[in-house]
Amino acid sequence: MKIGILSQDANLYSTRRLHEACQQRGHEAVIINALRCYMNINSVQPSIHFKGTDLIGFDAIIPRIGSDITFYGCAVLRQFEMMDVFAVNQSIAISRSRDKLRSLQLLSREGVGMPVTGFASKPDDVLDLIKMVGGAPLVIKLLEGTQGIGVVLAETQKAAESVIEAFLGLKAHIMVQEYIEEAGGADIRCFVIGGKVIASMKRQAAEGEFRSNLHRGGSASLIRITPEERKTAIAAAKAMGLSVAGVDLLRSKRGPLIMEVNSSPGLEGIEAATGKDIAGMIIDYIEKNAGKSRRNLQNQ
Query: pLDDT tens digits for 4-54?
Result: 999 999 999 999 999 999 999 999 999 999 999 999 999 889 999 988 889
Domain contains 100: no
Residues 193 and 175 in one domain: no
The DSSP symbol for 149 reads: T
DSSP β-bridge partners for residue 174: 120, 142
User: Which residue range is the domain that position 125 belongs to?
Assistant: 117-179
For residues 210 and 164, state if they share a domain.
no
If residue 56 lies in a helix (H) or strand (E), which one and from where to where? none
Residues 224 and 254 in one domain: yes
Query: What is residue 294's predicted lDDT score, i.e. its pLDDT?
Result: 46
Question: Domain for residue 218, yes or no?
Answer: yes
pLDDT of 65 over the 90 cut: yes
* Nearest CA-CA partner of 194 in 296, 298, 285, 277: 285
- Cα of 217 vs its chain's centroid, Å: 19
Q: Answer whether residue 145 shows pLDDT above 60.
A: no
Q: Are both 231 and 175 inside the same structural domain?
A: no
94 in any annotated domain: no
Among the candidates 159, 179, 199, a domain finishes at: 179
User: Do 280 and 202 belong together in one domain?
Assistant: yes
Confidence of residue 243 (pLDDT cuts 50, 70, 90): very high
Bigger pLDDT: 293 vs 277: 277
Mean pLDDT for 238-251 is 96
Percent of the chain with pLDDT over 90: 69
20 in a known ligand binding site = no
96 is in an annotated binding site: no
Per the annotation, does 262 bind a ligand? yes
pLDDT reading at 213 higher than 70: no
Q: What is the pLDDT of residue 299?
A: 43
- The overall longest dimension of the chain from CA atoms, in Å, is 61
- Does residue 95 lie in a domain region? no
SS3 48: strand
User: Is 62 contained in some domain?
Assistant: yes
Partners of 108 in the β-ladder: none
Question: Both 10 and 35 in a single domain?
Answer: yes
215 located within any domain: yes
* 190 and 293, same domain (yes or no): yes
**What was the pLDDT predicted at 142?**
84
Contacts of 217 (CB under 8 A, 6+ apart): 205, 206, 209
Instruction: Give how far Cα 86 sits from Cα of 132, 146, 181, 294, Å.
Output: 43, 27, 42, 8
Summarize pLDDT for 185-204 with one digit per residue, the tens: 889 999 999 999 999 999 88
User: Does 76 score more than 90 pLDDT?
Assistant: yes
The answer, yes or no, to whether the previous bond of 63 is cis (omega within 30 of 0) is no
**Which of the listed residues 179, 212, 228 is the one where a domain comes to its end?**
179
Q: Which pLDDT score, from 0 to 100, does residue 183 have?
A: 85
The mean of the pLDDT values for the chain is 89
213 and 291: one domain? yes
The CATH number linked to 257 is 3.30.470.20
Q: Which residues contact 298 (CB under 8 A, 6 or more apart)?
A: none
33 annotated to bind ligand: no
Q: Where are the alpha helices (DSSP H) in the chain?
A: 13-24, 70-82, 91-98, 100-109, 126-132, 157-169, 227-240, 268-274, 278-289, 294-298
Closest CA to 294 of 127, 143, 78, 123: 78
Q: What is the DSSP letter of 86?
A: E
Average pLDDT of the segment spanning 69-75 = 96
> Which CATH number is 157's domain given?
3.30.1490.20
Angle CA 294–67–35, to nearest 5: 80
Residue 213 annotated as binding site: yes
233 falls in which pLDDT band (50, 70, 90)?
very high
User: Which of 245, 138, 252 shows the shortest CA–CA distance to 186?
Assistant: 252
Cα 260–265–271 angle (5° rounding)? 125
Q: Is 99 annotated as a binding residue?
A: no
- What is the reported pLDDT for 214? 54
162 pLDDT higher than 70:
yes
pLDDT for residue 88: 98
Q: Angle at Cα 100 formed by Cα 10 and Cα 194, nearest 5°?
A: 60
Q: Work out the percent of the chain whose per-residue pLDDT is above 70.
A: 90
Tell me: do 206 and 273 sit in the same domain: yes
CA–CA–CA angle 236, 238, 242 (5° rounding): 100
Reply yes or no on whether the pLDDT at 216 is more than 80.
no
Q: How many domains does the chain have?
A: 3
Query: Is 248 labelled as part of a ligand binding site?
Result: yes
Round to whole Å and give the CA distance between 270 and 197.
12
- pTM, two decimal places: 0.87
pLDDT(282) > 80: yes
112 inside domain: no
State the pLDDT confidence band at 112, using cuts at 50, 70 and 90: very high
Q: Which of 92, 29, 107 is nearest to 294 (CA)?
A: 92
Q: Which of 179, 198, 220 is the last residue of a domain?
A: 179
228 assigned binding-site residue: no
CATH number for the domain that contains residue 13: 3.40.50.20
Q: How many helices (H) and strands (E) does the chain have?
A: 10, 16
pLDDT of residue 143: 78
Q: Is residue 158 part of a domain?
A: yes
Regarding whether 191 and 169 lie in a shared domain, the answer is no
**151 and 243 housed in the same domain:** no
Answer yes or no: do 285 and 194 share one domain.
Answer: yes
